[in-house]
Amino acid sequence: MPWVVGIDEAGYGPNLGPLVQAAVALHLPDDDPAGWETLRPVVRRCGEKADGRLLIDDSKKVYTRGGLAALERTVLVLGPCSSSVAELVRKVTSVAGLAEVAGECWFRGDEALPLTTSREAWWDAFVGLGEQMDAKGVRFKVSMEGLVVPTAGFNRTCDESGSKATVLSRGLIHLLATLAADLGQASEPKPDSIAFLCDKHGGRNFYAGMLQEAFPDGWVVAERESAEESRYRVELLDRPVTVTFRPRAEADSVSVALASMLCKYLREVCMRQFNRFWETHVPGIRPTAGYPVDARRFFAEIKPAMAKLGLSDDQVWRKR
């Protein structure tokens, strides 16, 4: 059985709030790398009847239909058991990752999870999924890894490289290398193949140089590089490894859809705290999602409060 790893991001375009990148690995049958058919007994997509199965789909569709609660139910049932925001961030991003985001003025790590329902309801959903899997004979393993890049870190990378795209590339390299190492240990003694599937980075078609950084002990071979798909295999490793980039990859894979949902959930949790923090300092301010145009409105309204708090523009506003 191969590991199929989906990688996605949320928050690359906004001027406010963090960028989140995430990878989700599923151990899936050889004849169903996409995972939709294997998991159909316990997983439904947007547009299907709500019948107790877990909702997994592109995060934008899920969020539009069910808001934060729909994202949270899936992420917390399948993700690492966490009783607080800090615990979830630490388990997904590591202690160092938590330390970086914990430095943000708006971050409240002690906020209890889940946010949208009771702990008892979350436990019922968790147990219910296990019972469904047992009854339907469905078996799969999940592994998650993420990055939360706050504004200050985003700006530092832009200053160093002169390019916003470098933030995304460095995060992708980290996720590829980390998951390859983690899944190697998880599949001992016999190494399972790993198939990475990533959403395309804008209009980019060429990724070989970036992949070589992620797999320094391997040799990256380009099989196809086009607008429809960029596909690579990594030779000289102890297991078969492929990396494929496609636009709208979340439609092709449960793993990418889950990565999309994890990213969106973490980003929304952070923006919820971000808006709550600034509302305490600027009473009545209208919340923002951080995207251009409205972000300028919000930034102008918080500038006086930023001055009182001793916060520089670089700590709050992304340069690119």
Average pLDDT (297-316) is: 98
Indicate the CATH number of 3-271 among 1.10.3720.10, 3.40.50.150, 3.30.420.10, 3.40.190.80.
Answer: 3.30.420.10
Res. 17 pLDDT band, cuts 50 70 90: very high
Res. 168 pLDDT band, cuts 50 70 90: very high
pLDDT over 70 at 160, yes or no: yes
Q: Which string of b and e fits 73-96 if b means at least 16 CB within 10 Å?
A: bbbbbbbeebeebbbbbbbbbeee
Spans of all domains in the chain: 3-271
Distance CA 53, CA 56 (A): 9
Contact 119, 70 (CB under 8 A): no
HEC profile for 93-134? Answer: HCHHHHHHHHCCCCCCCCCECCCCCCHHHHHHHHHHHHHHHH
Question: 225 has which bridge partners?
Answer: 230
pTM metric for this prediction: 0.95
Contact 221, 232 (CB under 8 A): yes
Backbone φ, ψ for residue 34 (5° rounding): -70, -35
pLDDT at 186: 54
- What are the tens digits of pLDDT across the range 83-130? 999 999 999 998 889 999 999 999 999 999 999 999 999 999 999 999
pLDDT over 90 at 249, yes or no: no
User: Please, what is the average pLDDT of the chain?
Assistant: 93
**Percent of the chain residues topping a pLDDT of 90:** 82
Q: Which pair of structure tokens corresponds to residue 149?
A: 């890049």
pLDDT at 189: 60
Average pLDDT (220-245) is: 96
Q: Which string of b and e fits 227-265 if b means at least 16 CB within 10 Å?
A: eeebbbbbeebebebbbbbbeebbebbbbbbbbbbbbbb
pLDDT at 259: 96
- What are the tens digits of pLDDT across the range 28-63? 888 888 999 999 999 999 999 999 899 999 999 999
pLDDT at 22: 96
Average pLDDT (68-81) is: 95
Tell me the pairing of strands 3-10 and 19-27.
Answer: antiparallel
- What are the tens digits of pLDDT across the range 122-150? 999 999 999 999 988 888 888 999 999 99
pLDDT over 60 at 19, yes or no: yes
pLDDT at 84: 97
pLDDT over 90 at 71, yes or no: yes
**Percent of the chain residues topping a pLDDT of 70:** 98
- What are the tens digits of pLDDT across the range 250-278? 888 999 999 999 999 999 999 999 999 99
pLDDT at 185: 64
